[in-house]
Amino acid sequence: MTIEIEDELAPQRVSLAYRTHLSAGRARVGELLGGQVEVESQGAWVVSSDGRRYLNAGGYGVFIMGARHPLVVEAVERQLHTHPVGSRMFLEPVAARAAEALTAVLPASLTRVHFSGSGAEATETAVKLARLNGRRHLISMRGGYHGKTLGALSVTAKDIFQDPFRPLLPDVTHVPYGNLPALTAALAQHTRRACVIVEPVQGEAGVVIPPDGYLSQVGRLCREYGALLILDEIQTGLGRTGHWWAFQREDVLPDILLTGKALGGGVVPVSAAVASEEVYAVLDRDPFLHTSTFAGAPIAAAAVCGALRAITEDGLVERSARLGARLLPELEAVVRRHLAGGCVVRGRGLLIAVEFTDPAMAADLLVDLVANNVIANHSLNSERVIRLTPPAVLDDAEIVFLLERFERAVISTALRYPEA
C-alpha cells in the first residue's frame, strides 16, 4: 500500500499505513486520541493536518526550548549544507565543539563525552563503562526507567517490559527508590563490584521525587562501598527541573552522567554519556572498543551546540524554575476545585505529574486534554499518572491557555467520576 502524494496527510490513510507497515497498536492509540496527524511544529505548538493547533505540554521532556528554536535550526541547517555526516576516519570539529560545550555546563570532573542517538544507547555506554571498570553488578531502582535495549532494559525495573525478553543481563539487583537501607544491603554484598544507576527524579514512574538528601546519601554509600555512580539525567537534565542538572540540588558527584532528549534541541535525536577521565580511561586507550557509525555525527553535534546556546542565551534554566513555581500551585488549585481527593499534583520545575487513584481517570484526562488542544503524556511505569512537560519558552498568553484548557479537561473528566 502506497500513500499517494495528494492525500498523504489524510488521517485515514496515515492510520492505514501505520496498521500495515509500522504498528497496528500505535495506530489504535492514535485513533483513541482523536486520530490527528501532526504535520508542523513551532515553539510551544503542534499543528495537525486539518489546521488545528495544540499546545505541546508533552514530548516526554524533549522540548524544553520548544520546537524549531531558531538557534538550533540555524546550526543544523548550516551543518546540513556543509558536512552533515562524517567519514569516521578523520577528526571532526563540530563534535569536538559540542563536547566542549556540554562539559562546560557540568562539574569539572566530568570530562569525557560519548555521543549516541537515544537515551537507551547512552545507558548502554554507561553499563559497558562500568564493566570495563570491574563493576559488573548493577543496582537500579524499582520504577526506574533507562531504556528498552536489552542492557538498558535490564536496569529498567518493570516486569511488563522485561518479561517478554528474558533472560536479560545477569547480576542485576533492583531496590526501592528512596530506600537507603535496601541500597546499603545490596552494596554490602558487592563491595567494589557494583554500579548504581539512579534518576534524580523518576520520570516514567510518575515524577517520583526522593526524600531530601537521598542523592547525597547514595553518593556517600557508593564511595563507602567502592561502587560507581551513574546519574540518569536524560529526562531531568538541561533545565527541565529548574536547574541545569537535577542532581545539583544536593551534594553529589556522579562518575557517569547520562543526558539526552532536549540535548538535540528538539531537532535531531542525540544523547550522551559523560564520564570522568578515570572511568573513561579504557576507551581513551582503545577508541574502537565501543563505537557507533552515527555517534557524534556533525549534524547531531551541531544540534547540541545550538541547544546549549539556546538554553544559555534564553535563560531557560531560570525560566523553567519560575514557570514551574507558577504553574504547580495553579494546577493544584484546579484539581482541588473539581476532583477533591481523587488526584494529586506534584512536580519540580517543568516536570509535573497529575496522579489519580484510578488509572481510568488518568487515561480519560489524557484524551480530554487532547480534545481541549493540549498534548500531555502518560507515564510508562505508572498508569495512574499523566505528565506535563511544557517548554520553558511559554509566554503569558500560552500559560493562560494551558491553565484554562487544563481546567476544562479536568471538569470533563470529573463529570464521568462523580464520586471522585
pLDDT, position 178:
98
CATH of the domain at 340: 3.90.1150.10
Query: What proportions of the chain, in percent to the nearest 5, are helix, strand and coil?
Result: 45, 20, 35
pLDDT for 340? 72
Cβ atoms within 10 Å of 340's Cβ, excluding its own:
11
Q: Are residues 184 and 207 in the same domain?
A: yes
Q: What is the CATH number of the domain that holds 289?
A: 3.40.640.10
- The pLDDT value recorded for residue 32 is 86
Range 225-258 burial, b when 16+ CB lie within 10 A, else e: bebbbbbbbbbbbbbbbbbbbbbbbbebbbbbbb
- Separation of alpha carbons 231 and 252, rounded Å: 10
Is residue 2 a part of any domain in this protein? Answer: no
- Whether 186 and 51 map to the same domain: the answer is no
Residue 162 phi, psi (nearest 5): -80, -40
In a domain, 159, yes or no: yes
Task: Tell me what pLDDT residue 333 has.
Answer: 96
Q: Which of 314, 329, 362 is the last residue of a domain?
A: 314
Do 244 and 366 share a structural domain?
no
Number of domains the chain contains: 2
pLDDT tens for each residue of 159-177: 999 999 999 999 999 999 9
Shared domain for 98 and 148, answered yes or no, is: yes
Range of the domain at 393: 11-28+43-56+315-416
In a domain? residue 368: yes
* Residue indicated by cell numbers 548504581: 196
Using the Cα atoms of residue 17, residue 22, residue 27 and residue 28 in order, give the sign of their dihedral: positive
Q: Does residue 271 share a domain with residue 132? A: yes
User: Do 176 and 125 belong together in one domain?
Assistant: yes
Same domain, 251 and 385: no
- pLDDT tens per residue, range 270-294: 999 999 999 999 999 999 999 999 9
Q: Is residue 399 part of a domain?
A: yes
Confirm whether 231 is domain-assigned: yes
Q: Which residue has the cell 563536547?
A: 99
Q: What would the DSSP string read from start to end of 53-100?
A: EEEE--GGG--TT-BS-HHHHHHHHHHHTT-SS--SSS--HHHHHHHH
What is the C-alpha radius of gyration for the chain, rounded to an integer number of angstroms? Answer: 22
Query: What CA–CA distance (Å, rounded) separates 92 from 301?
Result: 10
DSSP 3-state of 270: coil
The whole-model pTM stands at 0.96
pLDDT at 420: 62
Burial class (CB in 10 A: 0-12, 13-18, 19+), 184: middle
Q: Say how far apart CA 107 and CA 245 lie, in whole Å.
A: 10
What is the grid cell recorded at 30?
492514535
pLDDT at residue 342 in the model: 76
Q: How far is CA 307 from the centre of its chain?
A: 15
- Which tens digits make up the pLDDT trace of 368-403? 999 999 999 999 999 999 999 999 999 999 999 999
Are residues 130 and 248 located together in one domain of the fold?
yes
Integer CA distances (angstroms), 388 to 134, 166, 175, 338, in order: 39, 32, 27, 19
Same domain, 328 and 396: yes
Identify whether 1 is part of a domain.
no
Please name which of 164, 218, 161, 160 lies closest in space to residue 194, comparing C-alpha atoms: 218
Same domain, 287 and 341: no
Element (DSSP H or E) covering residue 44? none
Q: Which of 314, 349, 368 is the last residue of a domain?
A: 314
Low-confidence ranges of the chain (pLDDT < 70): 1-6, 420
Indicate if 283 and 140 belong to the same structural domain: yes
Shared-domain flag, residues 335 and 307: no
Last residue of a domain, one of 294, 314, 334: 314
Q: In this structure, is residue 339 part of a structural domain?
A: yes
DSSP per residue, 99-130: HHHHHTTS-TTEEEEEEESSHHHHHHHHHHHH
- What is the C-alpha separation between 188 and 99, in angstroms, rounded? 36
**Beta carbons of 265 and 307 less than 8 angstroms apart:** yes
Distance separating alpha carbons of residues 134 and 73, to the nearest angstrom: 42
Q: Is residue 396 part of a domain?
A: yes
